[in-house]
Amino acid sequence: MTQETAEWTEPAEPAEGYPEIDALFDSLPNKNGALIPLLHKAQEVYGYLSQEIQVYVAQKLNIPAAKVFGVATFYSLFNLEKKGQFKINVCLGTACYVRGAETILAAFEKELGIDQTETTKDGMFTLDSIRCVGACGLAPVVMIDDKVYGRVTPGDVKTIVDEHLGQGGQ
Partner 1 sequence: MSEKAAQVRIALRNCGVIDPENISDYIATDGYEALAKALFSMTPDEVIETVKKSGLRGRGGAGFPTGIKWETARKSQSDVKYVLCNADEGDPGAFMDRSLLEGDPHCILEAMALCGYAIGAQEGIIYVRAEYPLAVKHLQLAIRQAEALGLLGDNILGGDFSFHLSLYFGAGAFVCGEETSLMNSVQGGRGEPRIKPPFPAVSGLWNAPTNINNVETYANIPQIIRNGWEWFRQFGTEKSPGTKVFALAGRVNNVGLVEVPMGTPLRTIIEDIGGGIQGGRRCKAVQTGGPSGGCIPAEHLDTPIDYESLAGLGSMMGSGGMIVMDEGDCMVGIAKFYLTFTAEESCGKCTPCRIGNRRLLEMLTRITEGEGRMKDLDELDILGNIIKDTALCGLGMSSPNPAISTLRFFRDEYEAHVRDKRCPAGTCKKLVGYKILEDKCMGCTVCARNCPVSCISGARKKVHVIDQKRCVKCGVCHSKCPFDAIARG
- Please give the residue ranges that form the binding site for partner 1 (CB under 8 A): 1-2, 32-37, 39-40, 67, 70-71, 74-78, 92-95, 97-100, 103, 106-107, 110, 130-137, 139, 146, 153-155, 157-158
Name the residue nearer to partner 1 (CB basis): 19 or 113. 113
Of 12 and 110, the one with the shorter C-beta distance to partner 1 is 110
- For residues 153 and 167, which CB has a smaller minimum distance to partner 1 in the complex? 153
Could you tell me the smallest distance in angstroms from the CB atom of residue 98 to partner 1? 5
Smallest distance from partner 1 to CB 165, Å? 17
Minimum CB distance to partner 1 smaller for 10 or for 27:
27
Smallest Cα–Cα separation from 104: which of 81, 76, 130, 79? 130
**Which of 3, 44, 51, 54 has its CA nearest to residue 24?**
44
Minimum CB distance to partner 1, residue 92 (Å): 7
Smallest distance, Å, CB 12 to partner 1? 24
DSSP string of 16-65?
S--HHHHHHHHH-S--TT-HHHHHHHHHHHHSS--HHHHHHHHHHHTS-H
What are residue 130's DSSP bridge partners?
91
Instruction: Measure Cα distances from 113 to 43, 106, 160 in Å.
Output: 27, 10, 15
Evaluate whether 151 touches 135 at the Cβ level (below 8 Å). Answer: no
What's CA 100's distance to the chain center, in Å?
A: 23
Which CB sits closer to partner 1, 63 or 123? 63
Assign 80 to helix, strand or coil.
Answer: coil
Closest approach, Cβ 74 to partner 1, in A, equals 4
